Amino acid sequence: MIEIMSQLNGQEKLKLPKNIRQIGLPEEKRKIYVEDYVVTYMNQLASEYSNRQSAAILLGFHAKQEDMQLTFINGAVGIPAAEVEEDQISFRSDLWEDIYSTMRKYFSNSEIVGWFLTRPGKSLGINEKITKIHVDQFPGNNKTLFLMDPLDREEAFFIYENGKLTRQQGYYIYYERNEDMQNYMVENRKGRGSEEVFEAAALNKPVNAPNYTKRKEKPKKKHRGPVLAGTVAAAMALVVVGMALANRLYLPDRLKMVSGGAKEEPLTIEVVEGAIEANNPAEKPLETFEDKKSSEDVAEPAVNVTATKRYTVRKGDTLVNISLGLYDDRDYVDIICEMNGIEDPDVIYEGMVLELP
């Protein structure tokens, strides 16, 4: 959780989140932190409208620590699809009224820090239309723009400074208990059950993430639809504890902890069939082909199929980030080494296929 550590010379000092994932190569003097549920929500928008543009308002706050400019994004409010056209958004007064009403309801402690826009099948470059929207609707330095191409699976952050939108080389995803965003996602995802929303968000959580705490149920809020209360509670517990396999909707194929700034791709586990054993090996052996041919009905014995999990090493991988990405625990490095006969855990190569516990 982001919190105030102390007050020095009249300036508040932030305690930066520890449970983070680095995407690309963030700037040294300017860092952007995006909470995981916000990332999940943006990728849901991109997935639902993969053939047209979608947009959202980004919420959070700005801070400065020593010589670093920090931007924290902890919320997002979707803009209705009807208002989004070709690199244009109709920001009428009634749209802003709806946005501010939603902010008061769910994100009362946040301010507008920028906006999000998808450009399916297009470049992530800035054109005059996009620049005009940013300057007119999100004035001031440090306001962010997050562009995403859901087809080519590319994305980029931009920050407005010195009269232009400047592309950033990377950012951080951080994990914390974010009830405001959870509540907004559950109550505003039309056509999706709350279990689906939480499951999609949970897929991006590292297992046993230390910052998670079980959320308290608020009795005054009731879930709509035919979902049983027990099922909803179980789904919410699943999200808050965080069962992360490899990733999210659209991002399931992208995010991976890497070193060296390679493009983010997923930790993909391949499950393959293994040995086949008869349930009762001591029983009568199988009939020969001739015996089977002469019989009209031959009962085949039941079999057990074991499975093996495999992972193909990609550029920039290390055993440490593979272990952390899949199990949130570096102790699995020794187990993976033993299973694959690796003597030096620092020496693996691209294309190498690892068996996993």
Domain ranges for the chain: 1-254, 267-356
In 10 A of CB 76, how many CB atoms? Answer: 29
**Residue 123, C-beta contacts closer than 8 angstroms, at least 6 positions apart:** 149
Angle at 83 between CA 77 and CA 89, to 5 degrees: 85
Regarding pTM above 0.75, the answer is no
- Structure-derived torsion over alpha carbons of residues 115, 50, 191, 249, reported in degrees to the nearest 10: -80
Identity (one letter) of the amino acid at 187? E
Q: What is the C-alpha separation between 198 and 179, in angstroms, rounded?
A: 12
Examine the pLDDT at 110 and tell me if it is beyond 60. yes
Tens digits of per-residue pLDDT, 188-244? 875 444 444 445 555 554 433 333 333 334 444 444 444 444 444 445 444 433 433
Buried b (16+ CB within 10 A) or exposed e, 2-33: beeeeeeeeeeebebbebbbebbebbeebbbb
User: What CATH number belongs to 267-356?
Assistant: 3.10.350.10
> ∠ CA 284-288-291 to the nearest 5 degrees?
95
- For residues 176 and 201, is the Cβ–Cβ distance under 8 A? no
Candidates 265, 215, 223; CA nearest to 241 is 215
Q: Which residues of 37-47 are buried (b: 16+ CB within 10 A; e: fewer)?
A: bbbbbbbbbbb
Tell me the CATH number for domain 1-254.
3.40.140.10
Rounded average pLDDT over 255-260 = 35
- φ, ψ dihedrals at 24, nearest 5°: 70, -150
To which residue do tokens 């020794």 refer? 334
Span 314-345, pLDDT tens digits: 877 888 888 888 888 888 888 988 888 888 88
298-317 confidence digits (pLDDT tens): 444 444 444 568 888 887 78
**Which of 89, 25, 21, 29 has the alpha carbon at shortest distance from 53?**
89
Tokens representing 242?
A: 């965080």
Whole-number Å distance between alpha carbons of 334 and 322: 12
For residue 30, what are the β-bridge partners?
A: 69
Kind of pairing between the strands at 111-118 and 55-65 = antiparallel
Poorest-pLDDT segment among 179-188, 248-257, 278-287, 311-320: 248-257
